[in-house]
Amino acid sequence: MFIALLWVFGKLSARKKHCDEDHHACESGEEVWLLDNAASLDPNSSDEEAWTVEYKAKYYAVQSGTRLKYAATKGTMMFGGGNYKGSGGDRQTVEGTLTERIAPFFNGATVNERCKIRIDADLRPPKDGLGEHGEQEKTYKLGPSDCEGRSENLITLRGTRKNGEVMTTRVLETDLPSFECRTVFGKPEGWAIISDIDDTVKQTATDRRGLVEATTDPKPVAGTPEFYKFMSEQLNNPMFWYLSNSSDNFFPYLRAFRSLHFPFGPVTLRNIGFTNLFGVLGQTKFKVGEMEKIRQAFPKRHVICIGDTSGKDPETYGNMYRRHPEWIKGIFIRRVHKKFLEFEFWKEKNSRNRESRFKEAFRDIPDHVWHVFDDPKELYERVQDLHTE
């Protein structure tokens, strides 16, 4: 509910800016977010130098909706009972952090936007690629952005790269704090972890007094950083993806959280805008779509899916397993017992942890593939067994 209200007020206050074809984001004060991504080889080709990368960017007019940002911060502090203890600082510091988290909901999207990027790696574009010639051959143009201020561009690069190697891409011609993008290179074979975020690896508020702390000073679910480190070592540096149904306005916040506690991997969030208003309800559709993209790029990888019972993860992962049983090797679901803004009568009538739900979500799936857990310690042996199969 809290996020929904932020989204509605933000969209009503934010103003969209339309740009002409020759306009570039960084020329007039727009902020650009480059989202982390993964580079893949063609699984059906012997060419080990042709990498495909999808660059996703989001463009903001950062000065729109300024007054409402601060009003929303004050309202959130009041709704949380003024509780800021344990949130990482004094009241002024916490309010500043909270405003930073909320601000993207009130920034207007820029339409038909473009930006220039430079790839910080010894890679070369193919002859028909998007790169410019001569000394600028590592410079690319992304865009144009759609009506929600997002752009997606597929780029092909050539070069030799090791599995798990990471390169950096930077936005050019800007003095604003635009985000650098990190790209992980993945060979066709190996392991991959697809993980949810909220309630799976990140604690969420269980009451309104915990709302401010959960937003400004997020903490990992107990035992998950150690378990993810174990998987990274046990499975020989697998690829990680973090898929969440949260709005992509939370990207900086969740990316920083992942960087602090968990192995590197792209954080993929939902684009929730006026053009897909009912996308707020499409949890299963969003994650299935993103997982299909991952499978298309890495069909030979063995995948472990990790989620929780607060959303639709059991149904999503069960659906994907029935589509591709040879691809998914394990499904681990964390049992969540208490959620913020959940009415008791609804909780009792529609318990997320009922056995009948799991039986339906995982119908026709072997029992050894899926497991509902309370403590990540339950999963160590299961991962070891998967690795030795």
Q: Which residues pair with 170 in a beta bridge?
A: 118
pLDDT at residue 202, rounded to an integer: 95
Q: Please name the residues in contact with 310: beta carbons below 8 A apart, sequence gap of 6 or more.
A: 198, 199, 204, 336, 339, 352
Worst-scoring range by mean pLDDT, 48-52, 176-180, 215-219?
176-180
DSSP β-ladder status, 166-171 and 181-186 = antiparallel
Spatial contact of 131 and 140, defined as CB atoms under 8 Å apart: yes
When pLDDT is cut at 50, 70 and 90, the band that residue 225 belongs to is: very high
In the three-class reduction of DSSP (H, G, I as helix; E, B as strand; rest coil), residue 18 is classed as strand
Pairwise pLDDT comparison (111 vs 62), residue with the higher score = 111
pLDDT at residue 76, rounded to an integer: 59
Planar angle of CA 304, 310, 316, nearest 5 degrees = 45
When pLDDT is cut at 50, 70 and 90, the band that residue 318 belongs to is: very high
pLDDT at residue 138, rounded to an integer: 76
Mean pLDDT confidence for 185-193: 97
Instruction: Report the amino acid identity of residue 203.
Output: Q
pLDDT at residue 124, rounded to an integer: 63
Distance between CA atoms of 307 and 364, rounded to whole angstroms?
A: 19
Residues 330-369 pLDDT 10s? 999 999 987 654 544 445 545 789 999 999 999 999 999 9
Residues 251-284 pLDDT 10s? 988 999 999 999 999 999 988 754 445 455 556 7
In the three-class reduction of DSSP (H, G, I as helix; E, B as strand; rest coil), residue 150 is classed as strand
Instruction: Name the nearest CA neighbour of 112 among 142, 138, 136, 144.
Output: 144
- Taking each continuous run of H as one helix and of E as one strand, the counts in the chain are 11, 16
Instruction: Name the nearest CA neighbour of 256 among 73, 97, 103, 75.
Output: 97
Spatial contact of 258 and 36, defined as CB atoms under 8 Å apart: no
Which burial class, exposed, middle or buried, applies to 303 when counting CB atoms under 10 A from its CB (0-12, 13-18, 19+)? buried
Q: What is the mean pLDDT of the chain?
A: 80
DSSP H helical ranges for 170-236: 211-216, 224-234
Instruction: Report the amino acid identity of residue 175.
Output: D
Instruction: Report the amino acid identity of residue 359.
Output: K
Report pTM: 0.84
Planar angle of CA 275, 279, 285, nearest 5 degrees = 130
Q: What percent of the chain has pLDDT over 90?
A: 47
When pLDDT is cut at 50, 70 and 90, the band that residue 106 belongs to is: confident
Spatial contact of 304 and 351, defined as CB atoms under 8 Å apart: no
Residues 2-34 pLDDT 10s? 444 554 444 444 445 545 555 555 455 578 899
pLDDT at residue 275, rounded to an integer: 46
DSSP β-ladder status, 239-247 and 267-270 = parallel
When pLDDT is cut at 50, 70 and 90, the band that residue 379 belongs to is: very high
